[in-house]
Chain A
Amino acid sequence: VSRDTLLGSAGYRLRAIAEDGVIYIILGVFVVLSGYPLVWLVFDSLKKQGEMYTNIWLWPQHPTLANYASAWSDAGIGQGTINSMVVTAASVAIVVVVGSLAGYSLARMKVAGGNLILSAILLTLMIRPMFTAVQLFRFTTSLGIIDTYPALILPYAATSLPLAVALFTSYFRSIPIELEDAARVDGATGVQVFFRIVVPLSGPVFAAVVIFAFLDAYNELFLALVLLKDPSLRTLPPTLAGIIGEYFKNYPQLFAGVSAASAPIILLFVLFRRRFISGLLAGALKS
């Protein structure tokens, strides 16, 4: 080996190390930018009001959960969490049941014009919840269901449904039909085939649908502002939006509210990261 190539390869290696270093530094900056504000939010939510201004950046010296307690009871975060959970759970349940049945029908039963129906259903993805707010306000008022949970649950379900139907349909189509036929021949009814064969094989698509339907409902603000005026029924986003005005000076309490409201979804994300990302991605690429 000549001296030149030796030096060359050493130079190459040095360049590679430098390049890696630069990349780690850039990524590090972005990681701090993305993650630190959220970490900081948790830090400050655990501080007493005075410490917020003396110990600005770091973990509190005397962490306290008092802010959470007061945010939970006084600022309505507790009631908001209950309301959000009820609305989100009901909406997710409707999306999963109605969506999977429709998807199974489109994938397996010979519904006339099935593909046309699927395209029409996908087209309703363009109709964002906000576009329907005025009319929803009108007819939930005339139906007398405004200021009740269903007024919010049903529009949320309708928002997540098109994508759910599309994902279920394409997933069910990918299951070998022989499995279902064999079960049917063994005497399984249509209902049994669906619950015993199709559903157990479709874990990933159910997870994906649950995740994006959960996000759709849990984080929605516009319709929640419009359709639930009664403060005791408010979900978390309008509750948080309302706190800013009322509790302007008590920042730690505000931060405790925000982090308590965000905790369930962050927990869900960290636990099911891959499912989460692939679920949202499937949604994005499908639409």
Chain B
Amino acid sequence: LARGTAKSYVGQQLRKPTGRRWLVGRFAALADAPGSQALRSFNRWAGGGVNRLSGWLLIAPAIILLLVFKVYPILATFPESLVASQGFGTPEHFVGLSNYLTLVRDSDFWRATANTVAFVVITTIGVNAFGFFLALLVSRRRLRFKGLFQTILFLPVVVSLTASAVLWGFLMDPYVGLVPPLLQYLHLAWLVPSTGFFGTPTSAMLTISAIAIWQAMGFFMVIYLSGLQTIDADLFDAAKVDGANSGQTLWRITLPLMRPFISIGVTLAIIGGFGVFDWIYILTGGGPAHATESLMTYMYFQAFTQFDQGYASAIIVAILVLTAIASYLQWRQRYVGTTAQ
């Protein structure tokens, strides 16, 4: 025990990288080492908490990986958006802002932007409303089988977007799908568009939004569940004693306290929504005639079908700007919201 105490004393000294005591501790540690001379010198070289070089060596792979595969590609997108090219590997020439001028007059781009914004608005409201609602239900104290409910409600989250697109594409198909006859059976036939769920661009976008909500709401439920756990149960008891009904409790206690989590949920849904690609690529391919294109599928089309990488880069820059604006608006609203309180 005495040995151990002395050691941790030395250990404490080790943490202080300055002064004479540090040297003493350093030598004590080295003298104690059972290994060979090589081990000792490696110890001196890689001694954690002290050696700056080894710190840099350990973090270097992460920084290099991110610089090469994230930072460089995103920075190179900006100059790329100023060139015209006929395909990958062909000579390109500088055209200034020409790609952006084309972009502004490109009705397909604006259609894609409108579709994406609509998708973002619908799904952000949908996943947060359903997620919050489900979290309220699942977190009730009297509820049994909580784990089971949570597991099943979370299940669609782990399945790939590709799998859900294939599955729902079949289920909602006007000829072989199961949803149209089921809705008919439930006397809800009016929910089925006369040309099928993917028949018109509007109904296709709405259907894809619904699939997205189906798949993501479990994830948002979990976010709100973790939020509800941070609320002190005494608050609800106190409100009950004071005669508040459940609506008042929700409005006056739960919602205000959940503000930070709602803000996280909304931000995540917005960021996720702007990247919508998989469902549209599989279910409509952006067609007919680019009517159901999202910004991402349109970028894919320009870059990898038309091989116009300069134009595609301009679209990426536009997406970055749009995401930044959306995040800023959301942040400002949150800021105004908190100061107004």
Contacts and interface: CB of A to CB of B under 8 A. Distances in A.
Contacts of B161: 219, 221, 237
A281 interface: yes
Given A27-B137, A132-B74, A182-B8, A161 B65 contact: yes
Contacts of B39: 189
Contacts of B12: 178, 181
B160 A34 contact: no
Nearest to B151: A273
Given A30-B134, A219-B161, A20 B155 contact: no
Interface stretch (B27-35, B98-106, B107-115, B194-202): B27-35
A158 B63 contact: no
B159 A265 contact: yes
A84 B147 CA distance: 30
B7 A182 contact: yes
B48 A31 contact: no
Interface string B305-337: 000010011001001100100000000000000
Contact of A38 (B59, B72, B159): B159
Nearest to B246: A19
Interface in B135-159: 137-138, 140, 142-143, 147, 149-159
A109 B11 contact: no
B340 interface: no
Contacts of A26: 137
A284 interface: yes
Contact of B163 (A135, A185, A262): A262
Contacts of A133: 300, 303
B262 interface: no
A23 B140 contact: yes
Contacts of A111: 52, 55-56, 59
Contacts of A187: 29, 32-35, 43
B10 A276 contact: no
B66 A161 contact: yes
A236 interface: yes
B197 to A, nearest CB: 15
B250 interface: no
Nearest to A36: B152
A26 to B, nearest CB: 6
A185 B77 contact: no
A64 B34 CA distance: 63
Contacts of B65: 94, 98, 154, 157-158, 161
Contacts of A115: none
Contacts of A78: none
B246 to A, nearest CB: 9
Contacts of A159: 70
B236 interface: no
Contacts of B14: 181, 184-185
A135 B80 contact: yes
Interface in A23-48: 23, 26-27, 30-31, 33-35, 37-38, 40-41
A34 B62 contact: no
Give the contact-size bracket for chain A. 35 or more
A244 B163 CA distance: 11
Max count, chain B CB within 10 A of own CB: residue among A127, A128, A177, A180: A128
A110 B8 CA distance: 20
A138 B222 CA distance: 39
A149 interface: no
A280 B33 CA distance: 41
Interface in B21-78: 28-29, 32-35, 39, 42-43, 46-52, 54-56, 58-59, 61-63, 65-66, 68-74, 76-77
A187 B152 CA distance: 50
A122 B296 CA distance: 23
B72 A135 contact: yes
B253 interface: no
Interface in B262-316: 264, 268, 271, 275, 277-278, 281-282, 296, 299-300, 303-304, 309, 312-313, 316
B162 A237 contact: yes
Nearest to B327: A126
Contacts of A65: none
B312 A34 contact: no
B267 to A, nearest CB: 9
Contact of A215 (B51, B154, B158, B223): B158
Nearest to A261: B163
Given A189-B39, A241-B282, A261-B163, 5 more contacts: A101-B62, A109-B51, A187-B33, A190-B47, A221-B277
Leading 5 A-B pairs by shortest Cβ distance: A181-B11, A109-B55, A135-B73, A190-B46, A132-B73
Interface of B: 4, 7-8, 10-12, 14-15, 17, 28-29, 32-35, 39, 42-43, 46-52, 54-56, 58-59, 61-63, 65-66, 68-74, 76-77, 80, 88-89, 134, 137-138, 140, 142-143, 147, 149-163, 165-171, 176, 178, 214, 218-219, 222-223, 226, 264, 268, 271, 275, 277-278, 281-282, 296, 299-300, 303-304, 309, 312-313, 316, 319-320, 323
